[in-house]
Structure 1
Amino acid sequence: MRSGAKVAIVGGVFVVVASGVGYGGYNLWNGIMGGSDGTVSTSGSDGRRTGPVTDEEVTATAKDFLAAWAGGESEQAAQLTNDPVSAGSALLGFRAEAAVSAATITPGPARGATVPFTVKATVTNAGVSKPWTYSSQLTVVRGLTTGRPLVDWKPSVVHPKLKPGASLRTGFAKAGAIQAVDRRGRPLTAEKYPSLGPVLDQLRERYGATAGGKPGVEVVVDAGVEGVPDTSLLTLTKGEEGKLETTIDADVQAAAERAVKQYGSASVVAVQPSTGAVRAVANSPANGFNAAFEGKKMPGSTMKIVTAALLLEKGLVKADQAAECPRTAMYYGRTIGNLEGFSLNGATFGKSFARSCNTAFIKKIDDVGDDSALGKEAKEVFGIGLEWKTGIRSVDGSVPAETGGAAAEQYIGQGTVQMNPLNMASITATAKYGSFKQPYLVAKDLDDREFATAERKLPSSVAQQLRQMMRLTATAGYGTASGVMSSVGGDKGAKTGSAEVGGQTTSDSWFTGYSDDLAAAAFVEGGGHGVDAAGPVVARVLNAD
């Protein structure tokens, strides 16, 4: 601790006073000595303590670390962690790069080995000072070589939005501020719509200069990766905002935010079939990763929309003609069955689609005569794999070429098929409209980017039958989506799905549907059947339009 530092009790809280400036914290030396009385309990002949950290060790180590950090003693604080080099650099940057001139750090009650705390700091840059308050947490572990209790170092200790390789920085923002608005001119903010946080950061990074805004002075998380936008944490001096129009509909976005919030891991996207305009994108948790646009998951039986289109185009099935739906079907030694072993004797292909009969699709693979045909259909008609330019980062799905049993799994959305809610909402929009319209968040003339175009549209007879089968799924008493979609009005259709993921006791829940000129798709990790979790999310979004 720097010369002249004293420990006092102010208002019942220990405060480290250094060079006349008060910083919230606790006695550093207790942690270095190993306990409040300077003694260390040991186990073993080498005197090194072993076993889980004790409650006393957790409390003392956290207090001492936070005291050193708050007092600007980055080197001493770093020595109380299990990664002094990384910790020292980050803690020094808290003062030097983030321009924190003073800090009070108050720990809360420990939860096992984890201690939450609140940082109340003052940031000073170019003569301007502003308070900055946030919460984070740390975990205490036992050092592998020394046996000492140490803070388990992670960048998120300094700030919850810091990830490895990232750093805090205070200064002029890289891009001008923007005021993003929805399609009716209503403001869109991360405070009101948390899922839009990473979306707005990317839009600002890409379009801040062209939108007419001027940078202000901010505390940001600098990702340290080219192309990854800064995340603004605090504004010291406001710049001038440039207006940026998006395709989002604030009403649909609000419904999407509420719908996914009830689940630990869920995403939903809404798209307008006639234009490709994205009306909503929401994720839970809203933690910075836009899984709705960038996720890669097996889509389960929602993929049967594409498979059905393929079989219809090949003339191998018709919606109103009988198709085999036995309990099981085999293809190249791979046996695939239906949920709970059901079968449909003499049922039409349309009813098999509505009931989500796996075997009705598997039985037709031999007749297609090309194991890679599904991927071709997905790309040529539905635009999957065409490098969409939505205005922000997005992954536009993948159906890699497979053979044998792996190809059979793809027919029902398992195996190597990778999709996200953006992809499935677009596939549904294509089925509804009859041709692919690339999804987008901002107009292409903002940066003259080229939209992806599909090689061909669905033949009108195929599009009509596909919509007929999706309507049956959403409205017929035997349709797997009829219950969930009963509250949705307009011309409507849907497809349910569940994806069996190795290592999960419960399948991932998928659901996609449309109502008039709005299509939506949702994913809920471990949500079970499509109607159990993802279905209600989509219904709430469709009802918001």
Structure 2
Amino acid sequence: MRKGVRTAIVGGVFVVMVGGAGYGAYNILSALHDPGTGGGAAAVRTGPPSGDEVKETTGKFFAAWEKGRATTAASYTNNAAEAGPLLTAYGTDAHITKVRITPGTATGTTVPFTVAATVSYDGKSEPLAYKSRLTVVRGRTTHRALVDWQPSVVHPQLRKGDTLVTGESADPPVEAVDRDGKVLTKDRYPSLGPLLDELRKRYGEKAGGTPGIELAIRHEDAEQADTSLLTLVKGKAGRLPTTLSAGAQAAAETAVLKYAESSVVAVKPSTGEVLAVANHRADGFNAAFLGELAPGSTMKIVSAATLIDNGITAADRPAPCPPTATWQSQTFSNLKGLAPDEHATLSDSFARSCNTAFVKFADEVKVDSLTREAQERFGLGRNDWKVGIPSFDGRVPASGGPDTAANLIGQGQVQMSPLNMASVTATAMTGTFRQPVVVPLRLDGREPAHARGLSAGTVQQLRAMMNRTATSGTAAGVMSGLSGRVGAKTGSAEVDGQTRSNSWFTGYRNDIAAAAMTQDGGHGVDAAGPIVAAVLRTGG
């Protein structure tokens, strides 16, 4: 099915090129025969399109789309070369017919609309209905009112490079079940959608399923699983076991909904099994597993382990917290309101999340010390995790210059995902690195990544410092009321162009560790902290 789609799209591009040439010729002829006074050119319109122009352009665009005239519809956009192939595929490769588009009330130049259509393939038909929106802009060279082309105009889940196809599904369906045999569906757990699509792609055949017929989004990246939109004929679903916990997953789903652009992962430290993964993002991206962002002060778990393992300091030894610290001409400061403490221990500075205390040790830390600690003891940054679906394994480069200090406080060039930080917390708690998994290793004989972990002495100190942070330090308010063995670390990471920092938080309770990140969420306790606490309350 993929080969046929490519051929159709190439053909669509050819048609658009011809249509574009024809339209250009029409413009030239129109200019030559312009009826304006004295034969001069008509007045050029500028500024945002008027209400009448918006209505006229959208009306013509919708009418052409409804009739399956892809080239004509594309000519009413500001990027006919990209619009044409997708609009062509809509009727040919996706087999979408009987299209009826109903515009809503415009807000300025933005027009919401609903689409009602039918998908027909091999004698099977199903109704299709969805909502989308478009914006009308002034053409830069033509000065015409044109639809600002975005793939999401055609369907809200489409992104650049995507297309629509209908036919036998690329992969057999799967019935994913949690660790107790409970069925996991997109309807009940919406943020599991991307994960379930990946599981289907990787394990559909292994699970014993047979393909059905469906309308799906085929992504430009061939490694990315198709996104199913509508099933015409159900295939036989293969039963696929996962490590997820329905209870933890439900809590994670509810928790992230309270904060936009949030992601969370929970793991079982004693086994490395992923218990929950949830995202609440406008782009649908699985940032919980694939995010690559500076983790802020949650990275101090790895940094503290580096200082301890290299004999530089210890939990009960000095780690002074001055108001500022300078490293190679770059000055670092603490969060507003944090009082300096020249007599602080590492435990004191860790619990209060003092940046300058860690920056002051940059003189004694070798350029690659943090990198080796992350790779050899926490299993990070080696690109060898085999979770069961794609994941980012963290990045802790051996950076010189100011980044040597910045990396110690989770800024600089360090990048992590919530999955990475949940694993860091699990390793700090148990001393053993267990590569996270979402599909049991036995299912396909995957060999997990290995790292040597931490010594008993380092674990004892990390757990004591994380417990102090959770009970009387920066995480105390969020972790209040959680019983059992608890520990946590707060974090916030500054990002260029954002008014607020990214909120990070990681913690554990008994045999469950969780980490969350909220972009533009503020301090760790503002957004990510409540998400983690909600997941930890589910048990462990």
Output the TM-score relative to the length of structure 1: 0.89
Does 2:100 align with 1:104? yes
Deviations 1:431-468 (A, max 9, x none): 011111001110122222221001x2211011001100
Deviation at 1:308, TM superposition (A): 0.5
Q: Paired residue for 2:460?
A: 464
AA at the equivalent of 2:373: E
Q: Is the 8 A contact 2:435 2:448 kept in 1?
A: yes
After TM superposition, give the deviation of residue 101 of structure 1 in Å.
2.7
Structure 2 residue aligned with 1:198: 194
Deviation of 1:335 after TM superposition, in Å, equals: 2.2
Judge conservation of contact 2:319–2:358 (CA < 8 Å) in 1. Answer: no
Which one of 516, 520, 544 corresponds to residue 514 of structure 2? 520
Contact 1:95–1:101 (CA under 8 A) maintained in structure 2? yes
Q: Does the alignment pair 1:434 with 2:431?
A: yes
Match of 1:404 in 2: 401
2:252 maps to 1:256: yes
**Residues 282-301 of structure 1 correspond to what in structure 2 (within 5 A)?**
282-285=278-281, 287-301=283-297
Q: Alignment RMSD, CA only?
A: 1.7
Separation (CA, whole Å) in 1 of partners of 2:490 and 2:459: 19
Q: Deviations over 1:251-290 (max 9, x none)?
A: 1111111111122211111111111111111111264310
Amino acid in structure 1 at the alignment position of 2:208: G
Matched, 1:347 2:347: no
* 1:420 positional shift: 1.0
Measured after TM superposition, the shift of residue 45 of structure 1 is 5.4
**In structure 1, C-alpha distance between the alignment counterparts of 2:332 and 2:160, rounded to whole Å:** 43
- Quote the residue 1:321 is aligned against: 317
Give the number of equivalent residue pairs: 501
Matches within 5 A, 1:477-516: 479-516=473-510
How far is 1:495 from its partner? 0.4
Aligned with 1:276 (options 272, 275, 299): 272
Aligned to 2:371, which of 353, 357, 375? 375
Match of 2:446 among 445, 449, 462: 449
Cα 1:503–1:165, aligned 2, differ >3 Å: closer, same or farther? Answer: closer
Contact persistence 1:487–1:539 (CA under 8 A): no
Per-residue deviation, 1:123: 1.1
Contact residue 195 and residue 286 of structure 1 kept, 8 A? no
Distance 1:339 1:164, change over 3 A: closer
Cα distance change on mapping 1:514 and 1:264 into 2, 3 Å: same
The question of whether the paired residues in 2 share the 8 Å contact of 1:328 and 1:335 is answered with yes
| Matched AA of 2:199 | L
State the partner residue of 2:226.
230
Q: Secondary structure at the match of 2:278?
A: strand
Q: Please say if residues 120 and 132 of structure 1, whose CA atoms lie closer than 8 Å, have aligned partners that are also in contact.
A: yes
Alpha-carbon separation, structure 2, partners of 1:338 and 1:373: 23
Check if 1:534 corresponds to 2:528. Answer: yes
SS at match of 1:339: coil
The sequence identity of aligned pairs, in percent, is 55
Partner of 2:24: none
Distance (whole Å) between structure 2 residues aligned to residue 129 and residue 104 of structure 1: 16
| Aligned equivalent of 2:413, options 402, 413, 416 | 416
CA contact (8 A) 1:261 1:285 kept: no
The amino acid across from 1:366 in the alignment is D
Residues 276/366 of structure 1: CA separation in 2 closer, same or farther (3 Å cut): same
Cα distance in 1 between the residues matched to 2:321 and 2:152: 53
Q: C-alpha distance in 1, partners of 2:88/2:357?
A: 63
For structure 2, list consecutive stretches of 5 or more residues without a partner in the other structure.
1-26, 28-34
Question: Residue 517 of structure 2 contacts residue 528 of structure 2 at CA under 8 Å; is this kept in 1?
Answer: yes
Change (3 A) 1:101 1:322: closer
For each residue in 1:118-151, what CA deviation from the matched residue of structure 2 results, as whole angstroms up to 9, or x when unmatched? 1111111111111111111111112222222111
Give the Cα separation in 2 of the matches to 1:85 and 1:419. 37
Matched residue, 1:11: none
Q: Is the 8 A contact 1:66 1:105 kept in 2?
A: yes
Per the TM alignment, residue 75 of structure 1 is displaced from its structure 2 partner at its CA by 2.4
In 2, the alpha carbon distance for the partners of 1:253 and 1:183 equals 11
